[in-house]
Amino acid sequence: MIGLRALLTGLVMASAAVATCGAANAPAMSVNWVEVAGDQDTCVKQASSALKQNNFGTRFEVLNKGVGPALVRHVIVTVDGHPARSWSEALDLLLGPGKHHFAQSQLANRAMSPGETLQVLIPHDDEGNTLHPGTPGSLGNRFDAERGRVGVEICYCSTLGDCWTLVAGEHRSPRTTETRRCPKPSDLSFQQ
């Protein structure tokens, strides 16, 4: 069985630290940028705490931690519960309207190999540098403070047709549930 394990940490090194926290029943895919909730295991809390003490750049990642490919079929990204169809829309909702600089990778309708890490959003400053928390009032600090408002729902399947949906973010504990099939694209679907 493959699965999604959501960890929304916002820190580049989150995937390395969290990889040591696997449990026998843990779903196999992670989304990195989450707040650590009270019901998450101790190892994840310790890894997240250690990472937050470092000044790594902020980015959102998705990891396939399973033994087989994960076929991403449907994605919804929200900010405060409002769907965003693109990272530009999400950043407008998160940081206010304006020109936002970032690099992105396509997530929807994608096959992810076992062990693959996909950097789906890397926000940049006006000079093209990766955002870093640090200077009070800086864009990096604003992004870091607001990223917990972002939510994600990712439906993916194994090559055998078994499907799961990950729901994470927006200050919720991440959860993965088995589903019969992934929904068809709609006006709520994330397009990137």
In a domain, 190, yes or no: no
Tokens describing residue 75:
């994605």
* Nearest-angstrom CA–CA distance, 82 and 54: 31
CB atoms within 10 A of CB 48: 22
In a domain, 68, yes or no: yes
Of residues 63, 57, 50, the one with CA closest to residue 7: 63
Give kind and range of the element (H or E) at residue 87. helix 87-95
Under DSSP, is residue 43 helix (H, G, I), strand (E, B) or coil?
helix
C-alpha distances in Å from residue 75, one per residue of 83, 144, 151: 10, 22, 11
C-alpha distances in Å from residue 137, one per residue of 44, 52, 125, 133, 172: 29, 18, 13, 10, 26
Cα angle 128-11-150, degrees, rounded to a multiple of 5:
85
In a domain, 23, yes or no: yes
By residue range, what is the domain housing residue 106? 4-179
In a domain, 59, yes or no: yes
Tokens describing residue 122:
């890397």
Query: For the chain, how many structural domains are there in total?
Result: 1
In a domain, 191, yes or no: no
> What is the pLDDT, as a whole number, of residue 18?
33
Sign of CA dihedral 47, 1, 155, 157: positive
In a domain, 14, yes or no: yes
Q: Is the pTM of this model over 0.75?
A: no
Instruction: List the pLDDT tens digit at each of the 192 positions of the chain.
Output: 344 443 333 322 233 333 333 333 334 555 554 332 333 344 344 444 433 433 446 788 888 888 899 999 999 999 999 999 999 999 999 999 999 999 999 888 999 999 898 889 999 988 998 888 878 888 888 888 888 899 999 999 999 999 999 898 877 778 889 999 999 999 889 987
